[in-house]
Structure 1
Amino acid sequence: MAKNKAAKTKAADEGSMLKLLRDIVVILILVLGIHSCVAKPFYIPSDSMMPILRNGDRLIVSKYPYGWSYASVSFHLAPKKPGRWFGKLPERGDIVVLEHPVTRVDYIKRVIGLPGDTIELRGGALIINGKPIKREVQPMLSVPVDANMPGSDSSLGRFVTRDAAGKAVLELPIVRETLPGGATFDTIDMGPGYLTDDYGPITMPADHLFLMGDNRDGSADSRVPVDRKGLGGPVPFDAIAGRAEIISFSTDGTAEWYNPLSWFEALRPGRAGTNLRPERQASKN
């Protein structure tokens, strides 16, 4: 009797353990499926997409707008096979997350050139298909300095100053650009003298995109060689993983993992809910 009872208990324990393992596997598959096919969170670790994105922002990236490829699979688990299911090209101005074509590290940049476009920069001014895009100098943008910004390797450190209240702020030079098709957004232009101010002309091959950061003089993008952590030129469409949609929340770098109260104190006000789709207006470009 005792042996039968012990055997039944052991069998029940083993059954419970198998059920638990099965449930864990199912949950992991669901999470991976959602991450790879629908949407996933994304963390901004640098200032290359300033002013719209700041170091410490957390985003929602949708996976389905451009179809799916090997880059859609989260955690870089898929082999790099060419092709895309239900592929649809991004629009100029979209902010996209991509898998670096060489290192397979996640990057986030803005789509500037589409297949067949000729891209050129002269003195920092962008020229698409032989026509300079519309550029409008904006008032200086004041952004509070915090533990996340500017970062230790940031190109924006020279813009740190003090406001009327004596608080440290970044006073950033802003140029608003409007691309062919009407996408308009703000960029940071630090002035002349940067290696990325002059580039091209270069024509996009089929199924390739030209990507740039909005912090034009502080972004390792399609203008920058791979050995300098850039994208090394036009990026294959297959490397695009998804489209940045909205900021979910943002932190200033002061949160401590062992202090839950600090998690809330570190939240930056006014960042959550920021729409990352560019405004689009009628354009003659």
Structure 2
Amino acid sequence: MKAQSRRSVWSWAGSLIAAILIAIICRHFLFTPVMVEGKSMMPTFQDHNQVIVSKISKIERFDMIVFHSPISEDHYIKRVIGLPGDVISIKNDVLTINGKTYSEPYLKENKKGLIPRENLTENLHLTVPENSLYVMGDNRRDSMDSRLFGSISKDAVIGVAEFRFSPVGKMGLMK
């Protein structure tokens, strides 16, 4: 009976160790949970929303990414507006990238509080450097983003926000 009990304990221990190793590998190389802090992405994300970030997803324009801040020890979550080499222009709240105009429906809620002829985003014109991304918060009036610290290095990116798991009422895949 003792030999069988010992084998059972070792079997359970081996399974537990394998599960822990798989979880560590997945979290380190594939995905990680992140808590949103602050209001720079409102109304898309509120303070303390929790998301799963994919570390292997290809970054595309308008994805929401988590990255190491270039000016502090914090991690930021922002929307990718420009990819390497893109020519970005914002004039009178109209976003143009490489000569093509894009709508920004995620800004609609924040634009509601503006007075007539007031802009949410100041005018700008720039070219995104190679191996860099231009990022902005959805709450343009209260976001520390590339307008303040410049384009970010692609190497600073932790991953792409793919799934919100908290609050439960807003749980789901990110658009």
Q: Which of the pair is proportionally richer in helix?
A: 2
Distance 1:110 1:39, change over 3 A: same
Name the structure 2 match of 1:208: 132
1:108 equivalent in alignment to 2:28: no
Quick check: which has more Rg, 1 or 2? 1
Structure 1, unaligned stretches of length 5 or more?
1-22, 67-89, 135-176, 178-184, 225-231, 251-268, 279-285
Q: TM-score, structure 1 length as denominator?
A: 0.48
Equivalent of 2:170 in 244, 256, 271:
271
Name the structure 2 match of 1:186: 106
- SS of the aligned residue for 1:51 comes to coil
| Whole-Å separation in 2 of the counterparts to 1:104 and 1:130 | 36
Q: Report 1:87-236 matches (<5 A).
A: 90-134=59-103, 177=104, 185-187=105-107, 188-189=110-111, 190-191=113-114, 192=118, 196-199=121-124, 201-224=125-148, 232-236=149-153
Structure 1 runs of 4+ with >6 Å offset? none
Distance 1:193 1:249, change over 3 A: closer
Counterpart contact for 1:111–1:211, Cα < 8 Å: yes
Q: TM-score, structure 2 length as denominator?
A: 0.76
Count of residues in Structure 1 that have an aligned counterpart in Structure 2: 154
Q: How far off its partner does 1:270 sit?
A: 1.9
Counterpart contact for 1:91–1:111, Cα < 8 Å: yes
Percentage of pairs with the same residue: 35
Q: Greater relative contact order (Cα 8 A, min sep 6): structure 1 or 2?
A: 2
Corresponding letter in the other structure for 1:186: Y
- SS of the aligned residue for 2:28 comes to helix
| Whole-Å separation in 2 of the counterparts to 1:45 and 1:105 | 10
Counterpart contact for 1:125–1:197, Cα < 8 Å: no
Structure 2, unaligned stretches of length 5 or more?
1-15
Name the structure 1 match of 2:9: none
- SS of the aligned residue for 1:186 comes to helix
- SS of the aligned residue for 1:116 comes to coil
